[in-house]
Amino acid sequence: MPPADTPPNAVFVDDPATISDKQLLSPSIPLICDAGAVDVSFRNNFNFQDGFDGGVLEVSYDDGLTFQDVLAAGGTFVLGGYNGTINSCCGNPLAGRQAWTGNSAGFIDTTVVSLPGGCLMQLIVRWRMGSDNSVSGEGWRIDNIDIASCNRPPRRRPDPRPRPTPR
Ligand SMILES: [Ca+2]
Ligand SMILES: [Ca+2]
């Protein structure tokens, strides 16, 4: 698989033939009141043992105390959502969950997830890869991560039009 979408590098994790649970966390991002949706986008390149190893995207709104899948948190994939389910047979920590699995055959279209905004919360986004107890894959590469929250400016009232002065 190509090593990076934008040279020289990308985040990489291997897919071993043993049970593993590996995570990449974003910095803790403060969400202010009335913030709009949080959009997370990234480029995704994976080659996992199909259906047995895979990756998911999780989110915490309490500064890392608890995480849940972006879909359980009310997020929606705008592009590039999960493409399979992890088999429950063989010890994968992500057993039974929807995930990215199999071979994407290189970097695929930007994945975008739209997450609910919040008020005075600490948001952390977590990429998490789980593998089961046999058969390795190449792994997972992630590049060009962008996390954006748009707090729309308050609508301005149009200035009153000056009335023509009667003459
Ligand atoms: Ca890069
Ligand atoms: Ca495996």
Q: What is the pLDDT along the chain (167 residues), one digit of tens a residue?
A: 678 999 999 999 999 999 999 999 999 998 877 667 899 999 999 999 999 999 999 999 999 999 999 999 999 999 999 999 999 999 999 999 999 999 999 998 778 888 887 788 899 999 999 999 999 999 999 999 999 876 555 556 666 676 776 66
Tally of CA atoms within 13 A in the half-sphere of 84 that contains its CB: 20
> Domains (ranges, CATH) in the chain?
11-149 (2.60.120.260)
Kindly give the distance from the C-alpha atom of residue 8 to the centroid of ligand 1, in angstroms, as a whole number.
6
The rounded distance, in Å, linking the Cα atoms of 17 and 14 is 10
Beta-carbon contacts of 22 under 8 Å, excluding residues fewer than 6 positions away, are 13, 128, 129, 130
pLDDT of residue 111: 84
Cis check: omega of the bond before 166, within 30 degrees of 0? no
* Ligand lying nearest the CA atom of residue 7: 1
Kindly give the distance from the C-alpha atom of residue 63 to the centroid of ligand 2, in angstroms, as a whole number.
31
Kindly give the distance from the C-alpha atom of residue 11 to the centroid of ligand 1, in angstroms, as a whole number.
8
pLDDT of residue 13: 97
pLDDT of residue 26: 96
And the tokens for 44?
């995704």
pTM of the model: 0.86
Query: Angle 148-151-154 (CA atoms, 0-180°, nearest 5)?
Result: 160
pLDDT of residue 33: 75
Integer CA distances (angstroms), 125 to 14, 74, 147, 150, in order? 20, 14, 9, 17
* Ligand lying nearest the CA atom of residue 133: 2
